[in-house]
């Protein structure tokens, strides 16, 4: 009885949030510097569906220190919808561009709107029956795709700020009839919002950071989550007006029961990943970025928060399968590291360090993942390897 009451309370609160979202207009006025940045990036071919400002993220109440303000603009054009995150530090007067995401929000021709979270909102149902879990702050938001009438929601996703980023908190689909709450330990808790009844839980593996969530990959039902709780990540969108390319992996199906050696570059002349033991199994998901010089650039999950991006021979593809050609700008000249940084093969997960790069180290930028990470070629101990570094630690002359 207690669990049913908890589920009902959580479900009602979620439905109330979504109902208010369906009735909202653009929430906040758009600052001039935000509008100017969007005009520069997208020209005049976009519409602002909604805009909100979340204040004092990460503030230290004990020290009475001000936190960071975030502005979130929900935009659309004729064929896609995207969310742009701006940031204003405590000592700054204006917002500055942060990053852009597409994969983590609902797509579709109908309108979408955002709703701020309220203080003490339900962030998850407690699977042990001790009561709903609540967030003490309002540093979160829901994006809801509306039906054709604009009166109710058909799909929604919620994010909340913690540990320096916006993390996936819940998602729901009216078509599937279930809502899912995402706990900090990656436990997924499913319920039936219309009935206020909890269905069950699944221990999943996923990257909850909003930049790396792909709504299309999330299991919408308890049954789907039980089949596979290992959830592939999404990719941030790099939307610079003068650079239209970015790395975006797609899950491709390989024949099961096989293992392939993973290398630190497109060829067997490069070192093997994982201290010479890097191997990917085709029994799990594999994201393919593309084919280059007879090798595939892939991403796969190792365990926990450990992922790896590396290279396998393209003979691994099933018969009849092809991968898109991967564009790497090998013709670009060398740049230099000007801030100490780490080379990694896991930019979105653990940040596993392959090598520490000191200022003055030459690197060859090849491609990007979002605004933050660049794929580079670098010489380590006399051997060329490929890996990722933060884009703000190298020159771009």
| CB-CB contact of 110 with 154 (8 Å) | yes
Whole-number pLDDT of residue 246: 86
> Hunting for tokens 């742009």 — which residue is that?
84
Residue in 48, 50, 51, 113 with CA at minimum distance from that of residue 77 = 48
The token pair at 385 is 């390897």
Separation between Cα atoms, residue 158 and residue 384, nearest integer Å? 42
Sign of the C-alpha dihedral, residues 164, 165, 166, 168? negative
Please answer whether residues 140 and 166 qualify as being in contact, where contact means their C-beta atoms are separated by less than 8 angstroms: yes
Q: 250-316 maps to which CATH number?
A: 2.30.30
- Which whole-number Å values give the CA distances from 347 to 277, 354, 360, in the listed order? 20, 11, 22
Residue segments in the chain with a per-residue pLDDT below the cut of 70: 1-26, 57-66, 120-136, 241-244
The predicted pLDDT at position 60 comes to: 45
The domain segmentation of the chain, as residue ranges, is 2-227, 250-316, 335-393
**pLDDT for res 58:** 57
Q: What is the per-residue pLDDT for 127?
A: 52
Instruction: Please tell me the predicted confidence (pLDDT) of residue 155.
Output: 95
CA angle, residues 317, 323, 324, in degrees to nearest 5: 170
């Amino acid at each position: 009885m207690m669990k049913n009451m908890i589920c009902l309370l959580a479900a009602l609160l979620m439905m109330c949030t979504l109902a208010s979202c369906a009735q909202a207009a653009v929430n906040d006025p758009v600052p001039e510097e935000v509008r100017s940045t969007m005009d520069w990036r997208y020209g005049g071919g976009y519409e602002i569906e909604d805009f909100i400002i979340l204040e004092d993220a990460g503030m230290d109440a004990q020290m009475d220190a001000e936190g960071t303000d975030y502005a979130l603009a929900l935009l659309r054009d004729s064929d896609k919808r995207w969310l742009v995150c701006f940031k204003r530090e405590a000592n700054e007067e204006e917002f500055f561009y942060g990053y852009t995401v597409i994969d983590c929000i609902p797509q579709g021709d109908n309108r979408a709107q955002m709703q701020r979270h309220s203080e003490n909102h339900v962030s998850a149902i407690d699977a042990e029956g001790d009561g709903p879990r609540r967030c003490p702050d309002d540093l979160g938001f829901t994006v809801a795709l509306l039906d054709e009438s604009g009166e109710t929601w058909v799909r929604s996703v919620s994010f909340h700020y913690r540990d320096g980023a916006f993390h996936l908190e819940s998602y729901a689909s009216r078509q599937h009839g279930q809502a899912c709450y995402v706990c900090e330990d990656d436990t997924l808790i499913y319920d039936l919002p219309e009935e206020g009844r909890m269905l069950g839980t699944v221990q999943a593996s996923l990257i909850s950071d909003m930049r790396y969530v792909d709504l299309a990959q999330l299991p919408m039902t308890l049954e789907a989550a039980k089949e596979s709780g290992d959830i592939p990540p999404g990719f941030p969108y790099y939307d610079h007006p003068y650079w239209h390319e970015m790395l975006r992996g797609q899950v491709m199906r390989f024949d099961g029961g096989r293992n392939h050696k993973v290398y630190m570059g497109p060829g067997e002349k490069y070192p093997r990943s994982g201290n010479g033991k890097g191997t990917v199994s085709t029994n799990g998901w594999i994201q393919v970025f593309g084919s280059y010089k007879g090798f595939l650039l892939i991403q796969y999950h190792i365990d926990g928060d450990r992922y790896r991006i590396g290279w396998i021979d393209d003979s691994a593809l099933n018969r009849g399968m092809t991968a898109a050609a991967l564009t790497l700008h090998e013709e670009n000249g060398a740049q230099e590291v000007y801030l100490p940084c780490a080379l990694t093969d896991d930019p979105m997960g653990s940040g596993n360090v392959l090598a520490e790069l000191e200022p003055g180290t030459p690197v060859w930028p090849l491609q990007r993942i979002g605004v933050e990470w660049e794929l580079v070629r670098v010489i380590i101990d006399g051997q060329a390897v490929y890996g990722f570094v933060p884009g703000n630690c190298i020159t771009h002359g």
